[in-house]
Amino acid sequence: MDRASHRFDFARAEVQLRACDSSGCSGEGLYRAPKSNRQLREYHWFCLDHVREYNKAWNFCSGMSEAEIEAMVRRDTTWERETRPISHWVAHEEKLHAAAQAYARGEAQTSGEEWKNRQKAREPETPEAAALRLLGLTPPVDYAAIRARYIELVKINHPDTNGGDKESEERLKTINQALQTLKAAYLA
């Protein structure tokens, strides 16, 4: 196939002229105008004189009630996007308001201990705290108590006392790891 046959030949192109949509006009329809306020993407094609007449008579709000016009204005002020209150701000504001009222009445809603517990919940757990939790101990504790609890758990979870059970073997491995972590923390 010849490369020249793919090119657009301007000399052979037939130009289709659009006639003016105004009745009785033989002019060329070069200018578009929307058909109505409900059909903004469908157009009439007019000559220059008739598009000027059409634009002078154009009223976007014709056929609309006052309520429809008001609703359209409201939508346009927010770029036709729905606005909603930010709910978590409202809830937070209500919570602060309730706390302020309780404080004014002399009733503190949160004690210092509750505040500390909330702070602890936010902090990541240290390896030592995780090891103590695994052994079932809570600080403050000394190494003798850790060793005694370790021996107790080894007797319970040893695979030989559980018939070679794989789960008890895995539990014993985690208990041994917890003891090594605590030994490094307490005896170092």
Task: Indicate which CATH number applies to the domain containing 140.
Answer: 1.10.287
Domain total of the chain: 2
Q: Is residue 143 part of a domain?
A: yes
Strands of the chain, DSSP E: 31-34, 43-46
What is the structure's pLDDT at 146? 92
Token pair in block for residue 102: 């309780």
What is the structure's pLDDT at 40? 87
Q: Is residue 177 part of a domain?
A: yes
What is the structure's pLDDT at 37? 84
User: Which one, of 19, 15, 60, lies nearest residue 36 by Cα?
Assistant: 60
- Distance from C-alpha of 141 to C-alpha of 130, rounded to nearest angstrom: 14
Q: Is residue 174 part of a domain?
A: yes
Q: Is residue 84 part of a domain?
A: no
Tell which of 50, 77, 104 closes a domain.
77
Provide CB contacts within 8 A for 174, sequence distance 6+: 134
Q: Is residue 35 part of a domain?
A: yes
Mean pLDDT by 10 residues, the chain (188 residues): 55 69 91 89 93 92 90 82 71 82 69 63 81 89 91 90 86 92 84
Q: Is residue 90 part of a domain?
A: no
Host domain of residue 65: 31-77
Q: Is residue 15 part of a domain?
A: no
